[in-house]
Structure 1
Amino acid sequence: MTTRDLHLTDSVRSARDDARAQSGQGSAWMPYLPASSSPYRPPGVEPAALVWAETVAPGGYTHKVLARGSRLRFDDPTGDACAHLLLFNALEPVERLNVADTLKIPWQAYLGENHPLLSGDGRVLAVVSGDSSGRHDAFCGTTTDAWNERKYGDARPEGPSPSGRSLFLKAAAKHGLGRRDLPPSLSFFQGVRVEADGALAWRGGAGPGTHVELVAEMPLLVLVANVAHPLDPRPDYVVGPLRVHAWRGAPTGPDGPRFTAAAPELRRAYLNTVDYCEARGL
C-alpha cells in the first residue's frame, strides 16, 4: 500500500467517523422516525397508530403517500404557518385536487369542517373532519417565482423566501410528476374573504395553537408547501413552523353522517368514491 493509499484510506475513515459522530443530532425541522416518537402526538392518538410525524420548517415542504382512511392533521403552533396543499389519487395521479369543484359541489366558498376536497373526476379525495382555525383560502393558490422575486427579491427553493410553486415542483419530482401536473392549490391557516365589491381580503391567522384534520377518502399523494400567503401584506417573508401528523383510520362509510346528510351533488361524489375504491379492493 502506497503513502497515497494510506492517506485516502485515512480520509475515508475520518469522514465516516465524523458522520457517525453527528448521528445523534437533530433539528427542529425534521421527520420523527419512527413516527411514534413524535413529541407532539395529537390528543387521543396512540403512538403505534402514527404513520407520519414531521415539523415542516418555515419556507419548507414535505410529501407523503397515505392509505385510504388515514387521518391527516396540520397544527399551527405560532399562528403564522400557511399550509399550501395539493392532493392526488395515489393510484392514478392524473386525478388530482380540483379547487373549483371543491367550492362548487358543496355550494360553499369557504373551507371548514365537513368540507369535501374533490377531484376533477367527481370523487372525494379527502374531507375536512376537524377545524379549530377557520382561516383558510381556496381562491389565491400559492406563490410563484415571479411574485416572490418582485416582493422579496428572491424565490429560490433554497433561498430565504422560496415560492410555493417552486417547492411543489421539488415535492412532485420525487413522485415522477412535473410542472404540468400541478393544479391550483388551497391553503390552511391564513384566511381570505371576498368583499362586497369582489375584492379578496387577507384575514391572517387565527392565532397560535389551531389545527385542521382531514380524512383520506382515497389513497392519497399529499404535497405540502409551508410558505407565506400571496396576499400577506407584511413586507417581510413571514411564515411559522407547521406540524404534520397522520395515523390509521377508516374512510367515510355509506352510513356515516357526512354521507347520509350530504346534499345530492355531494352524495353522488361519495358514491363515485366508494365505487372506485371497492372495485380496487380498498
Structure 2
Amino acid sequence: MTIHAIDYETHLPGGQHWSLRLRRGATMRLTAAEAGANVGLLMYNPENLLERLNLPDTLKCQHTFKLTRGHCLYSDMGRIFASIIEDDLGWHDSVGGNLNAGHMIAKGWQPVSFQQALNDRTQTGHDSFLIELAKYGLGARDLAANLNLFSKVVADDAGRLSYVPDHCPAGASVTLRFEMDTLVALHTCPHPLDPSADYPKRGVDIALGTAPPPDENDVCWAHCAENARGFANNRLYHLGAPR
C-alpha cells in the first residue's frame, strides 16, 4: 500500500485520550512506543452521530474473531468506516471490552485523580471515552463495543477468554485508511485483562496522512464478498452525501 507523505505526527502518552474528525482518504498509523501498548478505539459518523462502529457486524460479515490487515471496520449501517491496510501484529482484540472503575478495584490498581497528579492520573478507558465524546454532544448512552488495537485475547475450547501479555513489541504499528468521514475517539488506557501489577502507562505515536482511493484489487476490498458490498454501500452513500 502506497501512503502519501505524512502530514502530521504526535505522541499520545499512556493513560490518555484523543479524538479527531478524519476525512475520507485519510490514514492513521499508530505505533507502539512501548511494549504491551493498548489503544481503545471508537468511531462515529460526524454527519449522523447515531451511526457508529459495530464490532458484532464487523466480525460476523468477515467471519473472524480477530482483526488484522485486509479487514474493514463497519458501522451499524453496513458502511465501512476504515480499512486496516498495514499491520505488524496479525491480531487486534475485538471482544475484550473497556477498562472501567470496577476493573481498577479488582486489580488493586490505586486510582489517582486529576486533582492529585494532574495529567499523570490513572484514567479508565470508560471515563476517557466519555471525556472525548462529550466534546461532540455524546454521552454514556452513545458508548459502543470498542476495538482494542495492539492487544490479543484468545479463547479456549470452553470459551474462556485470556489475555496474551507479550503480543505487542515496541515499534509495532497498524495503519487505518478511512473510507468515509469519521469521528475517531481513542485512548491509551490499559486493556481490562492486562495482568500488570501496577497501572501500566504505554504510549503510542500517531501519524496522519493520505492514501489513494481503493479499487476492486485492494487487499481489503478483495478480502471477501461482504467487503465488496460494504464498499458499494459507501459508494452509494457518497453519491447522496451533501457536497
Match of 1:210 in 2: 172
Count matched residues. 236
Deviations 1:128-176 (A, max 9, x none): 1000023421011111122223321427565632110100000111112
SS at match of 2:67: coil
Question: Is residue 270 of structure 1 aligned with residue 227 of structure 2?
Answer: no
Query: Conserved in 2, the CA contact under 8 Å of 1:155 and 1:163?
Result: no
Q: Pick from 183, 191, 194: which aligns with 1:232?
A: 194
Superposed displacement of residue 265, structure 1: 2.4
Superposed displacement of residue 264, structure 1: 2.7
Question: Is residue 197 of structure 1 aligned with residue 158 of structure 2?
Answer: yes
More divergent stretch after superposition (190-199 vs 218-227): 190-199
Query: Conserved in 1, the CA contact under 8 Å of 2:38 and 2:188?
Result: yes
Structure 1 residue identity aligned to 2:240: A
Q: Structure 2 regions of 5+ residues with no counterpart? A: none
Name which one, 1 or 2, has greater alpha-carbon Rg.
1
Query: Conserved in 2, the CA contact under 8 Å of 1:68 and 1:250?
Result: no
Q: 1:173 to 1:236 in 2, by over 3 A?
A: same
Which protein has greater RCO, CA pairs closer than 8 Å, 6+ apart?
Answer: 2
Superposed displacement of residue 254, structure 1: 4.6
Q: 1:257 to 1:135 in 2, by over 3 A?
A: closer
| CA distance in structure 2 between the aligned counterparts of 1:79 and 1:45, rounded to whole angstroms | 27
Superposed displacement of residue 253, structure 1: 3.3
How do 1:100-111 residues align onto structure 2 when only pairs under 5 Å count?
100-111=56-67
From the two aligned structures, give the one with the greater strand fraction.
Answer: 2
Superposed displacement of residue 119, structure 1: 0.7
How do 1:123-142 residues align onto structure 2 when only pairs under 5 Å count?
123-142=79-98
Query: Conserved in 2, the CA contact under 8 Å of 1:136 and 1:190?
Result: yes
Match of 1:154 in 2: 111
How do 1:1-282 residues align onto structure 2 when only pairs under 5 Å count?
46=5, 49-50=6-7, 52-151=8-107, 152-154=109-111, 156=113, 160-204=121-165, 205-254=167-216, 256-259=218-221, 261-280=222-241
What is the identity percentage for the equivalent residue pairs of Structure 1 and Structure 2?
A: 28
Q: Structure 1 regions of 5+ residues with no counterpart? A: 1-42
Query: Conserved in 2, the CA contact under 8 Å of 1:82 and 1:239?
Result: no
SS at match of 1:63: strand
Structure 1 residue identity aligned to 2:169: G
Deviations 1:47-90 (A, max 9, x none): xx51x422111100111101001111100022122111001112
Q: 1:103 to 1:92 in 2, by over 3 A?
A: same
- Normalization by structure 2: what TM-score? 0.89
